[in-house]
Structure 1
Amino acid sequence: MEREIRIEGSRDHRSASRRAAELSRRQFGAIARRQLLEIGFSPTRVRDWLRCGRLHARYPGVYIWGRPDTGDEGNLAAALLYSGRSAALGGLTALWWLELLGHEPVRIHVDAPGRASSRPGLAIRHPRRVERRMHRHLPVVPLAEALLPAGESLSHNAMRLVLARADFERLLDLSALHTALADGRRGSRVVRAALGAHLPQLARCANGFEREFVLLCEAHHLPLPEPNPRIGRFRPDMLWREARLIVELDGSGAHSTAAQLAADGRRQAELERFGYTVARFSRAEVHYDPGGVMEAVRHHLI
């Protein structure tokens, strides 16, 4: 966080309040007490602003400027300021901020030197060394350093999805990851198992239903399809290129109206004119008769 903060010092003759407002804006609404004092606020003025609602306490010594509500960036910036200099988003929060994890973690996870203690909603780790990379204006730890602590919380397939997304976004540094795994730290078992069963196709799935279908194919030892490939002007859900087989997955509500059904029919007819076999399965079929669905796919692949 500190690399984003550049206080001008005595050369800047603007009022302390204006400089504080600009600094908080650069920090997404968050500001630390020590920063206010460096700018020229007195302890009494800080207390007065807290009392009148111009500052709102978020953590000990960390405030939100103006309005108490702030966005994701402000929440993360406040956590970083509280955690101390050279802190970085870590673990699940780093993966989420890198857009590799599909849901926001319940707690903010930070790696930091120093001795700042965890708070409700904020988990602080103190590794021996904290490396930082800037991503979307906030510092995060390197991917390998985020994956290991996340391995204590994520399931096998959730970790595989994170790795697939990292691979798709060209963020996956296998050399750095293998070096981190060699230390035998907590979480390494889950990461190593997910890496051994790496499934890049997961990153190309548009939703959980498609990911479920790919994992079902894997569990039934079927050749894995390409999710959402480009065929002419279409992107069918699943493709087995050599077998020229397409599977369309009809999620609940997505293919129910007369207009939608007519569009599906025209799309299927055109794909069949290209020489593809098109099979359709509903969410209910996949959920309640997965074996039957897989046998039907297997029959088409023969």
Structure 2
Amino acid sequence: MMWTDLVLPYARRQDGLVTAAQCAAVGISPDQIKHLCRTGTWHRVVRGVYRVWIAEAVRTDALRMLIRAAVLSCGPDAVAVGPSAAHLFGLPTARRDPAAAEIAVPGPAGKPRRIQDRLVIVHQRILRPWELTAVDGIACTTPARTVADILLTQDRFTAICATDAALQAALLDAGDLGIVERMFFRRRGAIAARQWLEQVDGRAESPLETRGRLRCLDAGLTPDELQASIVDGTGRVLARADMLWRRPRLIAEADGASVHDRPEALFRDRTRQNDLMAAGYAVVRFTWQDTQSRSAVPRMVQAAMGRNLL
């Protein structure tokens, strides 16, 4: 057995990562670590944490690995917070470029670390035991605390998309939203966060659906129903509509390229749309780019409403 194999049990539990302290515990010296990094056998991720080239490392997404490395680097009290905790739960957040891990530590330990590693953003924050959990061994804030932090610190669309996704994934339920709101107490951004919390809807099945709904909401075109089942005169289900306006018989659909660009999907979508049109429904489709404009989605919806009410 090679001496580097002594750290493999740690690495397999930690997405291919080992710490300097774990190396020392099995007799691997700092000079040996430097040699392994110089030769490309290991790779330094953040201060005191190294990537070992094993299958567990290859299968892990880069941001998750960075988050785990940052938590390991910052000590036993460190936890992933904000966008980093959201990433661990699979919630959509705004991407940083370059990517960075956001970590919280209690007391004054956070301040000097902010300077020492550009990939790690360390916050000084006191978190209560019931606000803490772990995802695959990575310490982080609970879904409720994570969503509260996102609502308080991110832009409106990012925050509501993340909250909708947490509800859709059953990480939170409607009763948990009261807990989330109580976490706003005396925190900066609380007024806006409370307003945004009233706009969440866990029926949205993607961030694109949430964004389209918010554009319509802002234009005074709130849909009557989300994820509505559309049936014909015989009771046959024609479709499940992302957004439905009943009186004008209008459907708006989120058009995600990764799903709808496949040939079989294009065929199904065309057949489905023909069936809906035959039943008297108008259908509009919107893309991510459409939702980046305040007016694009509402303009499509209003135009289709006008045509279908003639």
**Common fold by TM > 0.5:** yes
Per-residue CA distance 1:66-111 (angstroms, 9 max, x = gap): 3898733322221111111132210111112212225544321111
Mind listing any 5+ residue stretches in structure 1 that lack a counterpart? 1-13
Per-residue CA distance 1:181-236 (angstroms, 9 max, x = gap): 12x123433322211333444x23x463x444422332333342434444426333
Q: Could you say which residue in structure 1 is the equivalent of 2:183? A: 180
Change (3 A) 1:259 1:102: same
Counterpart check, 1:235 vs 2:240: yes
Counterpart check, 1:128 vs 2:126: yes
Instruction: Report the 3-state secondary structure (helix = DSSP H, G, I; strand = E; otherwise coil) of the residue aligned with 2:166.
Output: helix
Deviates more, 1:290-299 or 1:156-165: 290-299
Instruction: Report the 3-state secondary structure (helix = DSSP H, G, I; strand = E; otherwise coil) of the residue aligned with 1:64.
Output: strand
Deviates more, 1:154-163 or 1:45-54: 45-54
Out of 197, 201, 209, the residue aligned to residue 199 of structure 2 is 197
Counterpart check, 1:94 vs 2:85: yes
The letter for the 2-side match of 1:126 is Q
Change (3 A) 1:248 1:46: closer
Q: Could you say which residue in structure 2 is the equivalent of 1:139? A: 139
CA drift of 1:30 comes to 1.3
Q: How many percent of aligned residue pairs carry the same amino acid?
A: 21
Larger Rg: 1
Change (3 A) 1:177 1:299: same
Instruction: Report the 3-state secondary structure (helix = DSSP H, G, I; strand = E; otherwise coil) of the residue aligned with 1:235.
Output: strand
Q: Could you say which residue in structure 1 is the equivalent of 2:225? A: 226
Q: Aligned partners of 1:200, 1:301: CA distance in 2, in Å?
A: 30
Per-residue CA distance 1:21-74 (angstroms, 9 max, x = gap): 221121112111111111222344334333433332222222122389873332
Q: Considering only aligned residues, what root-mean-square deviation do their CA atoms show, in Å?
A: 3.8
Mind listing any 5+ residue stretches in structure 2 that lack a counterpart? 231-236
Q: Aligned partners of 2:135, 2:297: CA distance in 1, in Å?
A: 43
Q: Aligned partners of 1:149, 1:25: CA distance in 2, in Å?
A: 31
Once the two structures are superposed, the pairs formed by residues 258-269 of structure 1 within 5 Å of their partners are 266-269=271-274
Deviates more, 1:16-25 or 1:120-129: 16-25
Instruction: Report the 3-state secondary structure (helix = DSSP H, G, I; strand = E; otherwise coil) of the residue aligned with 1:41.
Output: coil
CA drift of 1:139 comes to 2.2
Contact 1:111–1:124, Cα closer than 8 Å, also in 2: yes
| TM-score (norm. length: structure 2) | 0.72
Contact 1:237–1:246, Cα closer than 8 Å, also in 2: no
Counterpart check, 1:71 vs 2:66: no
Per-residue CA distance 1:100-134 (angstroms, 9 max, x = gap): 22554432111123615122121111212364312
Contact 2:148–2:181, Cα closer than 8 Å, also in 1: no
Q: Aligned partners of 1:121, 1:280: CA distance in 2, in Å?
A: 45
Counterpart check, 1:57 vs 2:62: no
The letter for the 2-side match of 1:247 is I
Query: Aligned residue pairs: how many?
Result: 281
CA drift of 1:278 comes to 1.2
CA drift of 1:19 comes to 2.8
Q: Could you say which residue in structure 1 is the equivalent of 2:251? A: 247
Instruction: Report the 3-state secondary structure (helix = DSSP H, G, I; strand = E; otherwise coil) of the residue aligned with 2:240.
Output: coil
Counterpart check, 1:277 vs 2:264: no
| TM-score (norm. length: structure 1) | 0.74
Q: Aligned partners of 1:79, 1:128: CA distance in 2, in Å?
A: 18
